[in-house]
Amino acid sequence: GQSLEQPSEVTAVEGAIVQINCTYQTSGFYGLSWYQQHDGGAPTFLSYNGLDGLEETGRFSSFLSRSDSYGYLLLQELQMKDSASYFCAVTPRNNYGQNFVFGPGTRLSVLP
Amino acid sequence: KAGVTQTPRYLIKTRGQQVTLSCSPISGHRSVSWYQQTPGQGLQFLFEYFSETQRNKGNFPGRFSGRQFSNSRSEMNVSTLELGDSALYLCASSPSETSGRAYEQYFGPGTRLTVT
């Protein structure tokens, strides 16, 4: 089976940098995705790592290391609007099509 | 492009009843997935449809079913509702595999189902 672990909560101040980790146990997957969800809102796609290494999208970067079964989302120049829950997700390799397994989510609180 | 739409947004049902939720994907997206989100269990995959065929199914009882129409719109049905079915039900659509972005899921606002 597949399972992902994330810290339940992270707190940081405006302007700072924060890293949200995701560790996983899975027999194989296509890639690691990250989603952001504000309270009362729908998850929105942030980033995807199909290969090991760093992917950068504006203030957000995501990293994957398959050998370490580990990935992270890095948020720079934090803003108040970044306060939200962040989920990592994988698509198991033994499935055809879309079958995302989501982590439990990390609630990020950005303080002024 | 219009986003993923879901109807209704809120629903209150009684135990034992059944419910049908609807989802219209982004135009051109043929893959539609359904998720159940609860505070205790997080986001859990229900099933995925592509070209009117169910390609994947999560670990939910047979009371949960779905279908997809030729225009890619999808419905999910929950029969014999239980209190534990109270949740936010999210629908997501994805671009085709040929686009190279099949890993991107675009979520609708969800249907908040309350079972009393």
* Position A95 pLDDT exceeds 70: no
Q: How far is B69 from chain A (nearest CA, A)?
A: 18
Tens of pLDDT along B78-112?
Answer: 999 999 999 999 999 998 777 777 788 999 999 99
Q: How far is A17 from chain B (nearest CA, A)?
A: 25
Average pLDDT, whole number, for chain A? 91
Q: What is the 3-state secondary structure (H, E, C) of chain B?
A: CCCCEEECCEEEECCCCCEEEEEECCCCCCEEEEEEEECCCEEEEEEEEECCEEEEECCCCCCEEEEECCCCCEEEEECCCCHHHCEEEEEEEECCHHHCCCCCCEECCCEEEEEC
What residue of A is the nearest CA neighbor of B57? A99
CB contact under 8 A, A97 and B48: yes
Share of chain A above pLDDT 70, in %: 92
What residue of B is the nearest CA neighbor of A106? B42
What residue of A is the nearest CA neighbor of B90? A42
CB contact under 8 A, B105 and A43: yes
- The answer to whether B58 faces chain A, any CB pair under 8 Å, is yes
